[in-house]
Structure 1
Amino acid sequence: MAEQSTLDAASLKGWRKSSYSNDQGGSCLEVLDGHPTSVPIRDSKNPHGPALFIPAPKWTFFLTAIKAGHLGHHG
């Protein structure tokens, strides 16, 4: 049986807003912890819109790079 290629992310429970988000209506990211193979992320201003499912190792690499300052703005 083939794996379902789409998932209704809005129906998933447990979304949490990024600690870097604020109440000013700026860029807000929500993450869903506990997914078995990936890290679902979505725009908190559009909870019924699409979500990205990032493979867990890639998400870890991304967070590590951000924390180390490797993905900062270079202007």
Structure 2
Amino acid sequence: MNHVARADTQLGGEAWRKPWSSSNGGNCLEVKQLGDGRVALRQSTDPDGPVLLCPAHDIAALVRAIKTGQADFLLT
């Protein structure tokens, strides 16, 4: 994993998505698929703040783990 310091400045402000919505007052995770396959993650309330860049295979592994209950311990 890598990071960039300024999301909008370095990656552009377009194509960011909120994969789900919640009732936490707008504090959401936003994601953006990059042209090289990586996925960028940022805090929605800080659109030009830091970004975590993850390889697609890491995101796929996370989604599989969530779907099979392997991340349920995070809910307690």
TM range (shorter): 0.7 to 0.9
Larger Rg: 1
Give the corresponding residue for 1:36.
Answer: 36
Distance in 2, matches of 1:9 and 1:68, equals 31
Structure 2 residue runs of 5 or longer lacking an equivalent are none
| 1:18–1:28 contact (8 Å) kept in structure 2 | no
Give the corresponding residue for 2:7.
Answer: 9
Amino acid at match of 2:18: K
| 2:34–2:40 contact (8 Å) kept in structure 1 | no
SS, match of residue 10 in structure 1: helix
Shift of residue 46 of structure 1?
1.1
Distance in 2, matches of 1:38 and 1:7, equals 16
Instruction: Calculate the TM-score normalised by the size of structure 2.
Output: 0.73
Identical columns (%): 34
Structure 1 residue runs of 5 or longer lacking an equivalent are none
Higher relative contact order (CA closer than 8 Å, sequence separation 6+): 2
Shift of residue 42 of structure 1?
0.6
Shift of residue 8 of structure 1?
3.9
With 63-72 and 6-15 compared, the bigger mean Cα shift is at 6-15
Q: RMSD in angstroms over aligned alpha carbons?
A: 2.4
